[in-house]
């Protein structure tokens, strides 16, 4: 009996005959020899078939295979230094499972809209597969940090009666009883309740923002990990974020060398992030840097993409920008006791032009102060429970949210978030 193997673990079977169940993604025949590029989901390998070694029938079958035909291939595993995977398969048998004809995505160049319309097929290609693998490992690396540092996962609701991050991009739907409901923009407010119950918690799930902007960074549906911690204040919040990001990147470097290579990612830049301290600057210092670099940027405005790019190029490392003007940040952020016009919140900007990947802050825990924010922002009854958290056992607490897709774009070195998730939901894209 031939052993069933996967391409990822094929190194265990050198000189043995194995069965690979997969698909033909490319082939090349020249005279008496043929090369079958096979994939099985776990990886890619080249099968070699020589006319002189096999039956005429088998050689003809192999030669007639079309792209994306599903096949069960048997062969003997050979170590092959020149191969990307390190191995090759000397093909001894081919069983066609289903013939594919006219596969739309050919090895030639296709436009991005065409590829996006064929996203259900495009994800089979080596680069797209690598991104999805890295996405899975980024999630594992993040959770590994949190699970090993005393955090408990808690799942906040996705259907909510109120907004968490302002109303401009709120996604409204009709609830079963006819009331308006909103898809969650962030689980944070609920995670604050969870932190007062369990200490250190995190959520991981999809969030929704009806963003009208068509940029390389904005999605309508994106995933966030949101840790929230009781008795943690601003400075410690930043330390935890830094350790968390470093752990995740190290995890990916160690678990995805092949995929990073497929994407031709500069891993030295990522190792630098693991090994060096992240600079922390105030919003005010950031504005000064921008002005020195010739940007006509007034104090008190939010950064746009060119400003974030300028700042990250200046440091060439992830940089925390802290102490933002209270007016341009969320109602729940704790004012800085040294200057109440700014808040104890920080964004983490990723280097190489990627920009904001984390938004976080210390939260207001004082009842009276929160109550006055409610009046200023006219927060209605649907927020009563959140104010009550400041009434019953309130403590200083902090948290942050990391956007998964922007983080993946950075780690993978992609120029757009659309390739970071299987089926991106963008301003003009709901299909497939
Ligand atoms: O900065 P944001 O809006 O922060 C919050 O939602 C906080 N409640 C998080 C918290 O403290 N628990 O969003 C957090 C991150 C951003 O830094 C960004 O990475 C990502 O979520 N993000 C988006 N990613 C893709 N498309 C969008 N439209 C995004 N909006 C935010
Ligand atoms: Mg933000």
Q: How far is the CA of 96 from the centre of ligand 2 (A)?
A: 51
Q: Do 75 and 91 touch, CB atoms closer than 8 A?
A: yes
For a ligand 1 pocket test, name from 135, 305, 318, 359 the mutation site with the most ligand atoms within 8 angstroms of its C-beta.
359
Burial degree of 35 (CB within 10 A; 0-12, 13-18, 19+): middle
* Ligand number with the minimum distance to the CA of 191: 1
List pocket residues of ligand 1, CB cut-off 6 Å: 164-165, 186, 188, 209, 211, 218-219, 222, 224, 226, 356-360, 399-401, 403, 405-406
Q: What is the pLDDT along the chain (432 residues), one digit of tens a residue?
A: 789 999 999 999 999 999 999 999 999 999 999 999 999 999 999 999 999 999 999 999 999 999 999 999 999 999 999 998 899 999 999 999 999 999 999 988 999 999 999 999 999 999 999 999 999 999 999 999 999 999 999 999 999 999 999 999 999 999 999 999 999 999 999 999 999 999 999 999 999 999 998 899 999 999 999 999 999 999 999 999 999 999 999 999 999 999 999 999 999 999 999 999 999 999 999 999 999 999 999 999 999 999 999 999 999 999 999 999 999 999 999 999 999 999 999 999 999 999 999 999 999 999 999 999 999 999 999 999 999 999 999 999 999 999 999 999 999 999 999 999 999 999 999 999
Taking the C-alpha atoms of residue 167 and residue 396, their distance in angstroms, rounded to an integer, is 26
- Give the nearest ligand 1 atom to 220 CA: 28
Q: How far is the CA of 218 from the centre of ligand 1 (A)?
A: 10
Taking the C-alpha atoms of residue 223 and residue 186, their distance in angstroms, rounded to an integer, is 9
- Give the nearest ligand 1 atom to 228 CA: 12
- Give the nearest ligand 1 atom to 417 CA: 25
Write the DSSP string, 112-169: HHHHHHTHHHHTTSHHHHHHHHHHHHHHHHHHHHHHTTT-EE----SEESS-SS-STT
The two three-digit tokens of residue 313, written as one number: 């190029």
Protein residue with its CA nearest to atom 28 in ligand 1: 218
* Ligand number with the minimum distance to the CA of 165: 1
Q: Do 278 and 240 touch, CB atoms closer than 8 A?
A: no
Q: How far is the CA of 295 from the centre of ligand 1 (A)?
A: 25
**Interacting residues of 145 by C-beta distance below 8 A, sequence separation 6+:** 243, 244, 247, 248
Q: How far is the CA of 356 from the centre of ligand 2 (A)?
A: 7
Which of these, 404, 401, 347, lies nearest to 192 by C-alpha position?
A: 401
Query: What's the chain's length in residues?
Result: 432
Write phi, then psi, for 57 (nearest 5 degrees).
-65, -45
- Give the nearest ligand 1 atom to 219 CA: 26
* Ligand number with the minimum distance to the CA of 188: 1
SS3 431: coil
Protein residue with its CA nearest to atom 29 in ligand 1: 218
User: Per-residue b/e over 338-347, b at no fewer than 16 CB within 10 Å?
Assistant: eeeebbbbbb
- Give the nearest ligand 1 atom to 361 CA: 11
CA distances from 161 to 164, 205, 309, 371, 373 (A): 10, 18, 36, 19, 19
Q: How far is the CA of 402 from the centre of ligand 2 (A)?
A: 9
* Ligand number with the minimum distance to the CA of 333: 1
Residue 326: half-sphere exposure toward Cβ, Cα within 13 Å: 18
- Give the nearest ligand 1 atom to 188 CA: 12
Residue 409: half-sphere exposure toward Cβ, Cα within 13 Å: 25
Q: What is the pLDDT of residue 108?
A: 85
Q: How far is the CA of 254 from the centre of ligand 2 (A)?
A: 29
Tens-digit pLDDT profile for residues 294-336? 999 999 999 999 999 999 999 999 999 999 999 999 999 999 9
- Give the nearest ligand 1 atom to 348 CA: 17
User: What are the residues facing 360 on neighbouring strands?
Assistant: 346, 400
Tens-digit pLDDT profile for residues 216-238? 999 999 999 999 999 999 999 99
Q: Do 192 and 234 touch, CB atoms closer than 8 A?
A: no
Taking the C-alpha atoms of residue 225 and residue 404, their distance in angstroms, rounded to an integer, is 7
Protein residue with its CA nearest to atom 24 in ligand 1: 403
Q: How far is the CA of 416 from the centre of ligand 1 (A)?
A: 16
Q: Residue 378: count other Cβ atoms within 10 Å of its Cβ.
A: 6
Q: DSSP class of residue 185?
A: S
Radius of gyration of the chain (CA): 26
Structural domains in the chain? 3-98 (2.40.50.140), 119-419 (3.30.930.10)
The two three-digit tokens of residue 246, written as one number: 């470093």
* Ligand number with the minimum distance to the CA of 318: 1
Q: What is the pLDDT of residue 107?
A: 81
Q: How far is the CA of 350 from the centre of ligand 1 (A)?
A: 14
Protein residue with its CA nearest to atom 15 in ligand 1: 403
Per-residue 3-state assignment (H helix, E strand, C coil) for 14-62: ECCEEEEEEEEEEEEEECCEEEEEEECCCCEEEEEEEHHHCCHHHHHHH
- Please determine, for the modelled complex, whether the ipTM score is greater than 0.85: yes
Which of these, 415, 80, 403, 68, lies nearest to 264 by C-alpha position?
A: 415
Protein residue with its CA nearest to atom 6 in ligand 1: 186
Write the DSSP string, 349-382: EETTTTEEEEEEEEEP--HHHHHHHHHHHT--GG
């Amino acid at each position: 009996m031939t052993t069933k193997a996967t391409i990822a673990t094929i190194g265990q079977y050198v000189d043995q005959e194995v069965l690979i169940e997969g698909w033909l993604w490319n082939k090349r025949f020249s005279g008496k020899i043929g090369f079958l590029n096979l994939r099985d989901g776990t990886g890619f390998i080249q099968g070699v078939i020589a006319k002189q070694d096999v039956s005429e029938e088998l050689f003809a079958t192999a030669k007639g295979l079309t792209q994306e035909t599903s096949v069960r291939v048997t062969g003997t595993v050979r170590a092959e230094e020149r191969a990307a995977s390190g191995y090759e398969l000397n093909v001894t048998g081919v069983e066609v499972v289903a013939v594919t004809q006219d596969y739309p995505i050919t090895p030639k160049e296709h436009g991005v809209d065409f590829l996006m319309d064929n996203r259900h097929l495009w994800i089979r290609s080596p680069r797209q597969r690598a991104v999805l693998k890295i996405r899975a490992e980024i999630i594992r690396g993040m959770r590994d940090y949190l699970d090993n540092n005393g955090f408990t996962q808690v799942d906040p609701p996705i259907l909510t009666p109120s907004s968490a991050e302002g109303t401009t991009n709120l996604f409204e739907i009709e609830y079963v009883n006819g009331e308006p409901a909103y898809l969650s923009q962030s689980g944070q407010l609920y995670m604050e309740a969870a932190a007062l119950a369990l200490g250190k918690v995190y959520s991981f799930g999809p969030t929704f923002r009806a963003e009208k902007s068509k940029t390389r960074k904005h999605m309508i549906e994106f995933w966030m990990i949101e840790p929230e911690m009781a008795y943690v204040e601003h400075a410690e919040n930043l330390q935890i974020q830094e350790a968390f990001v470093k752990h995740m990147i190290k995890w990916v470097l160690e678990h995805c060398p092949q995929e990073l290579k497929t994407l031709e990612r500069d891993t030295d830049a990522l190792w630098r992030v693991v090994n060096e301290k992240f600079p922390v600057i105030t919003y005010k210092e950031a504005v000064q840097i921008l002005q020195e670099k010739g940007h006509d940027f007034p104090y008190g405005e939010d950064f746009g993409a060119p400003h974030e790019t300028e700042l990250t190029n200046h440091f060439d490392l992830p940089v925390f920008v802290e102490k933002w003007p209270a007016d341009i940040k969320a109602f729940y952020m704790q004012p800085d006791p040294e200057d109440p016009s700014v808040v104890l919140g920080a964004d983490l900007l990723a280097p190489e032009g990627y920009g904001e990947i984390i938004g976080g802050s210390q939260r207001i825990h004082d009842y009276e102060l929160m109550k006055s924010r409610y009046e200023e922002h006219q927060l209605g009854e649907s927020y009563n429970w959140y104010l009550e958290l400041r009434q019953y056992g309130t403590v200083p607490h902090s948290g942050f949210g990391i956007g998964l897709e922007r983080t993946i774009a950075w780690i993978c070195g992609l120029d757009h978030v659309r390739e970071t998730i299987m089926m991106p939901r963008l301003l003009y894209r709901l299909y497939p």
